[in-house]
Amino acid sequence: MSRLKVAMIGHGFMGAAHSQGWRTAHRAFDLPANPQMAVLVGRDGAKAAAAAEKWGWESSSTSWREVIEREDIDIIDIVTPGASHAQIAIAALEAGKHVLCEKPLANTVAEAEQMAAAAERAARHGVQAMVGFTYRRVPAASFMRQLIAQGVLGEIQQVRASYRQDWLVDAAAPMSWRLQQDQAGSGALGDIGAHAIDLVQFATGLQVQAVSGVLQTVTGHRPLADGSGFGQVSVDDLALFAGRLSNGALASFEASRVATGRKNALSIEVSGTRGALAFDLEELNSLRYYNREDPQDRQGFRKILVTEPVHPYLSGWWPAGHMLGYEHGFSHQAKDLVESIDSGRPAHSSFAEGLQVQRVLDAVARSAANESAWTGVVHHAEIRTA
C-alpha cells in the first residue's frame, strides 16, 4: 500500500480534529493510499512538539517553508488563522503539494481569488486543493443533498440556515485571534457563517446571488489573555442576512457567537413544492422529512435515521443505528481528498467553491456597511490564472 505523507501547518483545536481524521480514515475505509502523519508545524517549537506527540505526528517543525520544500511531503494541511492561508496555500500548490485548507478560504476576496487561481493552475498537473467544509461530509447532510438532487422536494421555494454558539456571551471572555480582523478577516460571519452558506449551496445546488445583511459587535472590548488590560474587538459577534438564491428563492441566515445556550447549533431547513427537509447538527445522525403528497391524515415531519450502510460514508463504520459523531466528518474529509488524489477527479469543496463562499461573505459585509442595502455577490466568468 502506497503512502501519502502529510504535513499539518498549525495546530490548536482544528489541528486536533484534523489529526483525528488523518489517523482514522485509512482504518475505516479501504483507501488507495494511506495517509502518513509526517510532520506538524507550529511557531512555538515546544508546543508543536507536544502537539505532535499527543496527536500521533512523527515529528515537528517551526518552519512551514522548509516543510513545503521537502520532496517527501505530499499533502499540506493548513489549520492556521485566515491571515496566513493564502501565503501558505499558494506556496504549497506551486511546489506541487496537494492542499487541504481550513475555512473560510481566506480573509479577503482578493486573496481567495489568488488561491483559486493557483489551485486551477496546479490542477493541470494533477494537484488537488480542498477547503475544509467538513459539515457537508456529515452523512445526513450528504444524504440531504442526494434527496434534493433526486427532486423529492420539487421546486425549492425557501431555505432557513443558522449556526449559533454562545462562547462569547460572557463579556469577560478573553481576546483571541478570532476577534481580530487582521487575523480572522471577520467574526461570526466568516468563522461559522461560512459553514451555513456552504451547506445551503451544497445541499440545494443553488448559489447565493444577492444579500441584505446586518452585523453587530456585542462586546467591543475584551480582556487580554495575559491580564495586561483590554483589547478592541474588530469583528462581528452576530450576523443576520437574507439571501436571494439562483432560482429566485429566498434564504435566511444567522451566524451568532452570542446565542445563549447554543454550543454548536448548525441547522438548515429546505422547503419545496413537494416537501421539506431539515438537518440539525445537534441530532447529526438523522434528517427530518415532510412529504406533502402523503395522505392528509399521515402528514407531518418524519425522522429518517441516517445510519444505514447505503447512506453516504456509512459503509466504513458501524452497524445500523450505531451513531457517528463530530469527529467522523474529518475522517470523511481525509478519505475524499486521498481518493481524489488517486483518481484525478477534482475534490469537492474545491477552492473555487471556497471562493464563492468568500464572495458571499464579502457581499454581506458590504451590505451591512451600506445600511443593509441589497448587494450583489460579485461573480467572474473565469478565474484569472496568469
Q: What number of CA atoms fall less than 13 Å from residue 127's CA on the CB side?
A: 25
The pLDDT value given to residue 385: 31
Q: What is the pTM of this model?
A: 0.96
Q: Domain of 265: which CATH number?
A: 3.30.360.10
List the 33-41 sheet strands across, edge first.
59-61, 33-41, 2-9, 75-78, 98-102, 129-132
Compute the distance between CA of residue 267 and CA of residue 141 in angstroms, rounded to an integer.
10
Domains of the chain: total: 2
End position of a domain, from candidates 118, 135, 152: 135
Judge whether 333 lies within some domain: no
Judge whether 380 lies within some domain: no
The pLDDT value given to residue 378: 81
Backbone dihedral region of 205: left (phi > 0), alpha (psi from -120 to 50 degrees) or beta? left
Q: Are residues 214 and 168 in the same domain?
A: yes
Q: Are residues 164 and 100 in the same domain?
A: no
Domain that holds residue 153: 139-283+285-324
Judge whether 269 lies within some domain: yes
251: exposed, middle or buried (Cβ count in 10 Å: 0-12, 13-18, 19+): buried
Query: What is the full per-residue pLDDT of the chain (386 aa) written as tens digits?
Result: 599 999 999 999 999 999 999 999 999 999 999 999 999 999 999 999 999 999 999 999 999 999 999 999 999 999 999 999 999 999 999 999 999 999 999 999 999 999 999 999 999 999 999 999 999 999 999 999 999 999 999 999 999 999 999 999 999 999 999 999 999 999 999 999 999 999 999 999 999 999 999 999 999 999 998 999 999 999 999 999 999 999 999 999 999 999 999 999 999 999 999 999 999 999 999 999 999 999 999 999 999 999 999 999 999 999 999 999 999 999 999 999 999 999 999 999 999 999 999 999 999 999 999 999 999 998 754 333 33
Angle at the Cα of 30 from the Cα atoms of 281 and 40, rounded to 5 degrees? 70
Q: Are residues 299 and 176 in the same domain?
A: yes
The pLDDT value given to residue 384: 33
End position of a domain, from candidates 93, 113, 135: 135
Q: Are residues 292 and 144 in the same domain?
A: yes
The pLDDT value given to residue 383: 36
Q: Are residues 147 and 78 in the same domain?
A: no
